Structure 1
Amino acid sequence: MAESTYLRVLGASAGGGFPQWNCNCANCRGVRAGQPGLTPRTQSSVAWSRDRQDWLLFNASPDILTQLRAQAQLQPARALRDSGIAAVLLMDAQIDHVTGLLMLRERGTPLPLHATPEVLGDLASGLPLIPLLGHYCGVQQHPLALDGSALRWPFLPAARLEPLALSSKPPPYSPWREAPRPGDNIGVSLVNERTGRRLFYAPGLAEIGPAVWQAMQAADVVLVDGTFWTDDEMIRSELGTRRALEMGHLPQSGPGGMLEQLARLPASTRKLLIHINNSNPILREDGPERAQLAAAGVEVACDGMEIAF
């Protein structure tokens, strides 16, 4: 059996994808026009496997069907009706990360769904996807505790997942929007017990506290929030009125930004950004911001990328 485990990026964009359907910013216009150095991306999701046959899906984006068509390994075709998705784990209850669950309703058997009680609660009431799916495939709810215990699955032998709470807000539809709770948003450390190698994944990250920093330091690979380049990006580009930090995303540039944080990690750590907003200048592969990332040893995730660890 393979020593490595495999993390496949299904989608690397923030909500709306790239290009976003209703956006005519310079980046979105450019990618529609086929400008070189601009690569389309679907909405953020990854999947983890030991054998490239059975996968743990992290978040189910609205683009899940497009992603499954593009990723043949997630349709192993072992039976007349089949899927490589063995279970789903939700990082939060944001619409961009959960509405793809509706597209999995044709599964035929209950969908194993792992999430914190806070996320499961929002999906039972504020956005009642769990009751709705009860009329189709059904859902096996697996509440995810943030007590330091690890999760394991039979289809991921000699591998474990260690979740931790992140500082962030629940979705706008949640009754807890203005009273965030631990468990509204999580990061995860994925551990290959055969090799001892670790990957830390956090597509939504507002701040790097002691527990998050410890997880990042322990990781061989970090795949973290790359939503915005600057805190005022949406305001400056006239696409919105809120700052990155208000929306729960640590910008890359500026004092205390993601690039400054990543620079504190060992040179041997592989560093990647995911959940890239369509306004972010790092999407331009020939731009100065991308050159700055390259000089810092930071990669930008793209759809179809596979990380072995």
Structure 2
Amino acid sequence: MKIKVLGSSAGGGFPQWNCNCRNCNGVRRSTLKATRRTQSSIAVSANGEDWLLVNASPDLLAHIAAHPELQPARRARDSGIAAVLVIDAQIDHVTGLLMLREHDTPLPLYTTDAVWQDLCSGFPVATILSHYCGVEHYRIALDGAPLAIDALNGVQIDALPLSSKAPPYSPHRHAPRHGDNIGLVITNRQTGKRVFYAPGLGAIEAHVLAAMGEADLLLVDGTLWTGDEMIRLGLSKKTAADMGHLQQSGPGGMIEVLDSLEAQNVRKVLIHINNTNPILVEDGPERRLLTEHGIEVAYDGMTFEI
């Protein structure tokens, strides 16, 4: 089973187009040791030819250009993207669906009920696509049964509901629903190896911690270093918790959570990294601290075989 990190940044990418924080300014001027990143997405394949796209980033066309296996050119119109699964309806995870409008058959799309409602109402991507390729919707039921995805023979996907918030345009923004945001446990049935993927984690609930503890690879929320990061920089009035993310540093933060896991050989990788996060500075003290704790920082093009 192959997993590719297509985009490793949070919404807006790195550098963000209108941001002049220390990180964004530094990477533009090459005064910081940091690497540009596109917006969050991964791709999963059992055979290296047919890929499940997990989250359709606004940078999807750049992702396809950077990864030739996503455009294998076997016929006049072709794609290695066999299906799409979105974990939430956030704009940085669903806008790329519009870039797939030339698909020659209805686009196979996996979502929860809550996300599907958002994609038919607050941000009606599904309605728009109905005028182009159309959408073949598959329901993620959250009833404990694994997903059956034809393109991923030998791979099991289990969806876990997470505590988070629906997007600002969602009809239930202020009334959270089961399935607004999910994490994924992706299992190679042949090897038994597991990946836990959750780029948005607002709280570490018991079932989430259990899934993390059983994984061989963790791709988890690396959005913000501190809870008040955006406020201190004068860029927002929202805390990490307000945005549905767990800070990395401090008591109860992601570093502490990852340190608590008992598994010895689990690979721990932070993904969905905000442009303001100091871990983007490759020779900075925050990155060194992560290294001391055995934690990696995802980058575009990072590849895993499980």
TM-score (normalised: structure 2) = 0.98
Residue of structure 1 equivalent to 2:301: 304
Which of 264, 268, 272 is the equivalent residue of 1:267? 264
Secondary structure of the 1:239 match is coil
Task: Provide the C-alpha distance between the structure 1 equivalents of 2:243 and 2:31, rounded to a whole number of angstroms.
Answer: 30
Task: Provide the C-alpha distance between the structure 2 equivalents of 1:62 and 1:69, rounded to a whole number of angstroms.
Answer: 13
Task: Provide the C-alpha distance between the structure 1 equivalents of 2:177 and 2:290, rounded to a whole number of angstroms.
Answer: 33
Residue of structure 2 equivalent to 1:133: 129
Residue of structure 2 equivalent to 1:167: 163
Task: Provide the C-alpha distance between the structure 2 equivalents of 1:306 and 1:12, rounded to a whole number of angstroms.
Answer: 12
Residue of structure 1 equivalent to 2:180: 184
Residue of structure 2 equivalent to 1:45: 41
Find out whether 1:217 has 2:203 as its counterpart: no
Q: Which runs of 5+ in 1 are unaligned?
A: none
Task: State the superposition RMSD in angstroms.
Answer: 0.8
AA partner of residue 267 (structure 1): Q
Residue of structure 1 equivalent to 2:83: 87
Check the 8 A contact 2:83/2:151 in 1, yes or no: no
Residue of structure 2 equivalent to 1:289: 286
Task: Provide the C-alpha distance between the structure 1 equivalents of 2:39 and 2:24, rounded to a whole number of angstroms.
Answer: 14
AA partner of residue 73 (structure 2): A
Secondary structure of the 2:218 match is strand
Q: Identity over the aligned pairs, expressed in percent?
A: 60
AA partner of residue 97 (structure 1): H
Q: Which runs of 5+ in 2 are unaligned?
A: none
Secondary structure of the 2:102 match is helix
Residue of structure 2 equivalent to 1:280: 277
Using the TM superposition, name which of 150-159 and 271-280 deviates more.
150-159
Task: Provide the C-alpha distance between the structure 2 equivalents of 1:223 and 1:201, rounded to a whole number of angstroms.
Answer: 5
Q: What does the per-residue CA deviation read over 1:182-226, in whole Å, with 9 as the maximum and x for residues that have no partner?
A: 100000000000000000000000011011011101100110000
Secondary structure of the 1:126 match is coil
AA partner of residue 101 (structure 1): L
Task: Provide the C-alpha distance between the structure 1 equivalents of 2:150 and 2:135, rounded to a whole number of angstroms.
Answer: 19
Task: Provide the C-alpha distance between the structure 2 equivalents of 1:137 and 1:179, rounded to a whole number of angstroms.
Answer: 32
Task: Provide the C-alpha distance between the structure 2 equivalents of 1:76 and 1:62, rounded to a whole number of angstroms.
Answer: 21
Residue of structure 2 equivalent to 1:229: 225
Task: Provide the C-alpha distance between the structure 1 equivalents of 2:150 and 2:124, rounded to a whole number of angstroms.
Answer: 29
Secondary structure of the 1:8 match is strand
TM-superposed CA distance for 1:36, in Å, is 5.0
AA partner of residue 40 (structure 2): S
Residue of structure 1 equivalent to 2:114: 118
Residue of structure 1 equivalent to 2:104: 108
Secondary structure of the 1:115 match is strand
Find out whether 1:61 has 2:54 as its counterpart: no
Task: Provide the C-alpha distance between the structure 1 equivalents of 2:124 and 2:112, rounded to a whole number of angstroms.
Answer: 15
